[in-house]
Amino acid sequence: MKPFVHLNCAMTVDGKIATQNSCLQISGKDDLIRVHKLRLKYDAIMVGINTVIVDDPRLTVHKINADKCSNPVRIVIDSNARIPLDSRVLNDEAETVLVVSENAPEDKITLLEDKCSVIVCGESRVNLKDAMNKIYDMGIRSILLEGGSTLNFSMFKDKLIDRVTVCIGSKILGGTNSKTFVDGDGFDKDNCIQLKLENIEKIDDDVVLTYNVVY
Ligand SMILES: NC(=O)c1ccc[n+]([C@@H]2O[C@H](COP(=O)([O-])OP(=O)(O)OC[C@H]3O[C@@H](n4cnc5c(N)ncnc54)[C@H](OP(=O)(O)O)[C@@H]3O)[C@@H](O)[C@H]2O)c1
């Protein structure tokens, strides 16, 4: 069994989710409020380790009024336990589950176990299907996946994503090396992901599209 997974992302009109070397808020203030309301509906929020290293997000509900105890569990996918010990996602504002592989150094895991739960899935890279099973067994029934583009691709490849929401901010970034919504190896025409459009919403200058994934 696996939790229901909803991928939420903000991208520019040209599909970029970040600049090559600096932080950028892609969607507007009201879209951030939408995202924080969405976070409240999920048991957990999940990101890849590069997002933690680059953005140092808190992954809590803090743009709207909410009780600290309503913060979802934070899940970080991090094969080699590269997470910096002072990452904000390891603060005491919410529980955190770090998913590592058998490759992760034991001394780092010992240090991390003071700050979060650590689960091991996969030999040299996190096995995401195994991770979803174990996370389900921990009682987590729904996950809001918040990137980045490498983890998004792997989650699609393993058919683990059920719903997709993309907020298109009114910006263009360009840049061959700038991250797009989904990177990784990519799909070919025979196995690309099919979506069914469920909702269109205009929020100020942003457009929010929600799809169900058709496997
Ligand atoms: N606009 C938005 O909505 C948004 C949201 C989130 C992030 N971002 C941006 O996205 C960028 C980060 O994206 P990213 O693609 O570099 O990294 P990412 O998806 O955040 O993290 C990818 C890393 O996760 C680890 N991982 C472990 N097992 C994996 C698996 N089975 N499949 C895939 N990854 C696995 C890998 O590192 P190890 O091998 O070391 O474990 C991999 O390099 C940042 O610039 C951030 O600002 C934007």
Query: What is the reported pLDDT for 6?
Result: 99
> Cα(55)–Cα(129) distance, rounded to whole angstroms?
26
- Tens digits of residue pLDDT in 34-56: 999 999 999 999 999 999 999 99
Q: What distance in angstroms lies between residue 193's CA and the mean position of ligand 1's atoms?
A: 19
- Tens digits of residue pLDDT in 82-99: 999 999 999 999 999 999
Residue 193's CB: how many other CB atoms inside 10 A? 16
Instruction: Name the residue of 20, 50, 120 to mutate for ligand 1: max ligand atoms within 8 A of Cβ.
Output: 50
Q: What is the rounded average pLDDT of the residues 60-87?
A: 95
For ligand 1, atom 39: residue with the closest CA: 79
> Of ligand 1's atoms, which has the minimum distance to the CA of residue 183?
15
Q: What is the rounded average pLDDT of the residues 171-197?
A: 96
Query: What is the reported pLDDT for 50?
Result: 97
Global pTM reads 0.98
147 lines ligand 1 (CB under 6 A): yes
77 lines ligand 1 (CB under 6 A): yes
Checking if the pLDDT of 135 tops 90, the result is yes
**Alpha-carbon distances of 30 from 13, 15, 54, 152, rounded to whole Å:** 18, 20, 23, 24
> Of ligand 1's atoms, which has the minimum distance to the CA of residue 78?
41
129 lines ligand 1 (CB under 6 A): no
Query: What is the reported pLDDT for 52?
Result: 97
- Tens digits of residue pLDDT in 149-179: 999 999 999 999 999 999 999 999 999 999 9
Region 4-214: CATH code: 3.40.430.10
